[in-house]
Amino acid sequence: MASLREIKTRINSTKKTKQITKAMEMVSASKLNRAQNNAQSYEPYTQKIREVVASIASGNSDASHPMLEERPVKKTAYVAIFSDRGLAGGYNASLIRSFIDEINKRHKSKDEYGVIILGRIGRDLLKKRGIPILDEITGLPDEPVFNDIKNITRLAVNMYADEEIDELYLWYNHFISPIQQDVTEKKLLPLTDMSEETDSKQTYEYEPSAEAILDQLLPQYAESLIYGALLDAKASEFGARMTAMSAATDNAGSIIEDLTLSYNRARQAAITQEISEIVGGAAALE
């Protein structure tokens, strides 16, 4: 049985841990609120670009673009968004597990695909598994701006434009609530489903031409999808971390209660033993 000093030391250390996890929970809650606001404020921009591109792709014009057309798939690229830091529950684990399972089903050889990674933890996990990495970016701020990832988004789009890859998919955790983040896959390129989302009530006139507009908007749209997913993933990360730290704080409280009960019992037993020894010693002197 542990001594009183050992139990007291464990109580004190657990209390300090509880203070840390509670502080991290509060910080994550604050960051989650800002991340949600960032993701929501960016959504109208993405939606408007999609609306215009869908209008052009709907058949109202003869415009076409390689990003709207499927071609035989020889190589696939994935953009996978992870976190740079841990202590976020199963945020990274669930994503990496689903991602690995899917690429194992789709591909027979590592020559058939490559991954562009955002986030240190994902990079480290995929490197350990020998997954081919096309590019990586780590150390992103909690509130990223587009300039933080513009090089890697343009790399992904240019690889498709240059026919180095024939498909581009996006993997990330979509924010549902602080306690739920869903692993999500989106097909970025080619944009084959654009015509299905056309709003027939909207009409546009294109200057200088629909083809020129597509040349400008399609790369921007694909890049905006990656950035929008990053903002969504940040909200998911902070929600997962807040939930994990809340659970850790509750667990620490339970441990402190159990240790305090053990400490009181041990102290009571020690006092009882001391009284018994005193009584026994007094009786021996009579």
Instruction: Give the chain's domains with CATH numbers.
Output: 24-243 (3.40.1380.10)
- Say whether 17 sits in a helix, a strand or coil: helix
The torsion angle over the Cα atoms of residues 263, 268, 274 and 279, rounded to 10 degrees, is 180
Question: What is the model's pLDDT at position 285?
Answer: 66
Total-model pTM: 0.86
Coarse DSSP helix, strand, coil percentages of the chain, rounded to the nearest 5 percent: 65, 15, 25
Question: What is the model's pLDDT at position 227?
Answer: 93
Residues (pLDDT < 70) of the chain are 1-2, 57-64, 193-204, 206, 282-286
Place of tokens 């097909």: 187
Question: What is the model's pLDDT at position 141?
Answer: 92
Question: What is the model's pLDDT at position 271?
Answer: 80
Question: What is the model's pLDDT at position 137?
Answer: 92
Cβ(215)–Cβ(134) below 8 Å: no
Please choose, from the candidates 175, 190, 177, 176, the residue with its C-alpha nearest in 3D space to the C-alpha of residue 222.
Answer: 190
Question: What is the model's pLDDT at position 25?
Answer: 92
Question: What is the model's pLDDT at position 241?
Answer: 94
Q: How far is it, in rounded angstroms, from Cα 176 to Cα 101? A: 23
Question: What is the model's pLDDT at position 198?
Answer: 52
